[in-house]
Amino acid sequence: MKLEPPLAYLITIRTYGTWLHGDDRGSDDRDHNDWDTPYLPPDQERRNIAASRLKGKPAALTWGERQVVDAEVRSQCAFRDWRLWALNVRTEHVHVVVSSAETPERVMNALKSYATRALRSEGGRLGPVWSRHGSTRYLWKEDALAAACVYVLEGQDHRPELP
Protein backbone atom coordinates (compact mmCIF):
# COMPACT_ATOMS: atom_id res chain seq x y z
CA MET A 1 0.00 0.00 0.00
CA LYS A 2 1.50 3.30 -1.15
CA LEU A 3 1.03 6.27 1.15
CA GLU A 4 -0.13 9.52 -0.33
CA PRO A 5 2.39 12.35 0.03
CA PRO A 6 1.51 15.29 2.27
CA LEU A 7 -0.19 18.27 0.63
CA ALA A 8 2.69 20.52 1.68
CA TYR A 9 5.30 21.25 4.30
CA LEU A 10 5.65 24.14 6.72
CA ILE A 11 9.39 24.77 6.93
CA THR A 12 10.93 27.21 9.38
CA ILE A 13 14.60 28.08 9.12
CA ARG A 14 16.23 30.16 11.87
CA THR A 15 19.21 32.37 11.25
CA TYR A 16 22.42 31.43 12.99
CA GLY A 17 22.70 32.18 16.70
CA THR A 18 19.48 34.16 17.05
CA TRP A 19 17.51 31.72 19.24
CA LEU A 20 19.78 29.75 21.51
CA HIS A 21 18.99 26.97 23.96
CA GLY A 22 17.94 28.59 27.23
CA ASP A 23 16.64 31.74 25.49
CA ASP A 24 14.14 33.94 27.36
CA ARG A 25 11.52 32.95 24.76
CA GLY A 26 12.03 29.31 25.75
CA SER A 27 13.62 26.70 23.52
CA ASP A 28 13.47 23.07 22.52
CA ASP A 29 16.08 20.43 21.97
CA ARG A 30 16.34 16.89 20.63
CA ASP A 31 14.66 15.47 23.73
CA HIS A 32 11.95 18.15 24.00
CA ASN A 33 10.56 18.94 20.56
CA ASP A 34 7.19 17.25 20.21
CA TRP A 35 4.64 19.27 18.30
CA ASP A 36 2.22 21.35 20.35
CA THR A 37 4.19 21.00 23.57
CA PRO A 38 5.55 23.94 25.53
CA TYR A 39 9.11 25.13 25.09
CA LEU A 40 11.64 24.49 27.81
CA PRO A 41 11.76 27.37 30.29
CA PRO A 42 14.45 30.05 30.05
CA ASP A 43 17.81 29.00 31.45
CA GLN A 44 20.46 31.73 31.52
CA GLU A 45 23.32 29.30 32.22
CA ARG A 46 22.36 27.13 29.25
CA ARG A 47 22.02 30.23 27.06
CA ASN A 48 25.48 31.46 28.09
CA ILE A 49 26.99 28.06 27.26
CA ALA A 50 25.28 28.05 23.86
CA ALA A 51 26.46 31.61 23.16
CA SER A 52 30.04 30.69 24.06
CA ARG A 53 29.96 27.89 21.45
CA LEU A 54 28.96 30.11 18.52
CA LYS A 55 31.47 30.05 15.67
CA GLY A 56 30.44 33.45 14.39
CA LYS A 57 28.19 36.41 15.07
CA PRO A 58 24.43 35.90 15.20
CA ALA A 59 23.05 36.39 11.70
CA ALA A 60 20.16 38.87 11.69
CA LEU A 61 19.13 39.60 8.10
CA THR A 62 18.97 43.19 6.92
CA TRP A 63 16.04 44.42 4.82
CA GLY A 64 18.12 44.02 1.65
CA GLU A 65 19.23 40.52 2.63
CA ARG A 66 15.62 39.57 3.32
CA GLN A 67 14.76 40.63 -0.23
CA VAL A 68 17.64 38.51 -1.61
CA VAL A 69 16.47 35.44 0.35
CA ASP A 70 12.86 35.99 -0.72
CA ALA A 71 13.83 36.20 -4.40
CA GLU A 72 16.06 33.12 -4.18
CA VAL A 73 13.41 30.98 -2.45
CA ARG A 74 10.90 31.97 -5.13
CA SER A 75 13.45 31.27 -7.87
CA GLN A 76 14.31 27.81 -6.52
CA CYS A 77 10.65 26.87 -6.13
CA ALA A 78 9.92 27.90 -9.71
CA PHE A 79 13.05 26.18 -11.08
CA ARG A 80 12.32 22.92 -9.24
CA ASP A 81 8.57 23.02 -9.94
CA TRP A 82 7.71 23.18 -6.24
CA ARG A 83 4.39 24.82 -5.36
CA LEU A 84 5.09 27.81 -3.11
CA TRP A 85 1.99 28.51 -1.03
CA ALA A 86 3.35 31.11 1.38
CA LEU A 87 6.68 32.75 2.20
CA ASN A 88 7.73 35.19 4.88
CA VAL A 89 11.39 36.14 5.28
CA ARG A 90 11.95 37.72 8.68
CA THR A 91 15.02 39.19 10.33
CA GLU A 92 15.76 36.02 12.32
CA HIS A 93 13.88 33.28 10.47
CA VAL A 94 12.19 32.23 7.26
CA HIS A 95 8.81 30.48 6.97
CA VAL A 96 7.98 28.57 3.79
CA VAL A 97 4.85 26.59 2.95
CA VAL A 98 5.71 24.48 -0.06
CA SER A 99 4.56 21.35 -1.89
CA SER A 100 7.23 19.07 -3.28
CA ALA A 101 7.82 15.40 -4.06
CA GLU A 102 11.12 15.81 -2.19
CA THR A 103 11.43 15.31 1.56
CA PRO A 104 11.08 18.49 3.62
CA GLU A 105 14.73 18.14 4.70
CA ARG A 106 15.89 18.15 1.07
CA VAL A 107 13.71 21.16 0.32
CA MET A 108 15.00 23.00 3.38
CA ASN A 109 18.63 22.18 2.60
CA ALA A 110 18.29 23.33 -1.01
CA LEU A 111 16.66 26.61 0.06
CA LYS A 112 19.32 27.25 2.71
CA SER A 113 22.16 26.46 0.28
CA TYR A 114 20.94 28.62 -2.57
CA ALA A 115 19.88 31.48 -0.27
CA THR A 116 23.35 31.45 1.30
CA ARG A 117 24.99 31.49 -2.13
CA ALA A 118 22.81 34.43 -3.19
CA LEU A 119 23.57 36.34 0.03
CA ARG A 120 27.30 35.82 -0.40
CA SER A 121 27.28 36.91 -4.04
CA GLU A 122 25.06 39.95 -3.43
CA GLY A 123 26.60 41.38 -0.30
CA GLY A 124 29.55 39.26 0.61
CA ARG A 125 28.00 38.07 3.91
CA LEU A 126 30.58 36.00 5.75
CA GLY A 127 30.16 33.43 8.50
CA PRO A 128 27.27 31.10 9.21
CA VAL A 129 23.84 32.24 8.05
CA TRP A 130 21.46 29.49 9.17
CA SER A 131 21.01 27.31 12.23
CA ARG A 132 21.97 23.64 11.98
CA HIS A 133 18.58 22.26 10.98
CA GLY A 134 15.15 23.83 11.12
CA SER A 135 11.55 22.85 11.67
CA THR A 136 9.73 20.67 9.16
CA ARG A 137 6.02 20.11 9.60
CA TYR A 138 4.01 17.83 7.34
CA LEU A 139 0.64 19.26 6.26
CA TRP A 140 -1.68 16.38 5.43
CA LYS A 141 -5.06 18.13 5.30
CA GLU A 142 -6.37 21.21 3.52
CA ASP A 143 -7.35 22.93 6.77
CA ALA A 144 -3.78 22.46 8.07
CA LEU A 145 -2.39 23.87 4.82
CA ALA A 146 -4.72 26.88 5.05
CA ALA A 147 -3.84 27.48 8.72
CA ALA A 148 -0.11 27.28 7.95
CA CYS A 149 -0.47 29.85 5.15
CA VAL A 150 -2.39 32.22 7.42
CA TYR A 151 0.25 31.81 10.13
CA VAL A 152 3.14 32.47 7.73
CA LEU A 153 1.53 35.50 6.12
CA GLU A 154 -0.32 37.03 9.10
CA GLY A 155 0.54 35.46 12.46
CA GLN A 156 4.13 35.84 13.52
CA ASP A 157 3.57 36.52 17.22
CA HIS A 158 2.75 32.96 18.36
CA ARG A 159 3.21 29.31 17.45
CA PRO A 160 0.71 28.11 14.83
CA GLU A 161 -2.40 26.25 15.90
CA LEU A 162 -2.59 23.65 13.15
CA PRO A 163 -5.30 20.98 13.01
Residues 102-123: tens digit of each pLDDT? 999 999 999 999 999 999 998 7
41 vs 46: CA distance, rounded Å:
11
Residues 7-30: tens digit of each pLDDT? 999 999 998 877 665 566 655 666
**pLDDT value of residue 47:** 63
**pLDDT value of residue 161:** 46
Q: Tell me the residue type at 148.
A: A
Helix pair angle (63-79, 104-123), 10° resolution: 130
Q: Is residue 75 part of a domain?
A: yes
The count of structural domains within the chain is 1
Q: Is residue 93 part of a domain?
A: yes
Q: Is residue 72 part of a domain?
A: yes
Q: Is residue 122 part of a domain?
A: yes
49 vs 149: CA distance, rounded Å:
35
Q: Is residue 118 part of a domain?
A: yes
93 vs 130: CA distance, rounded Å:
9
Taking the whole predicted model, whether its pTM rises above 0.95 is answered as: no
Is residue 159 over pLDDT 60? no
Domain of 123 in residue numbering reads as 11-16+59-154
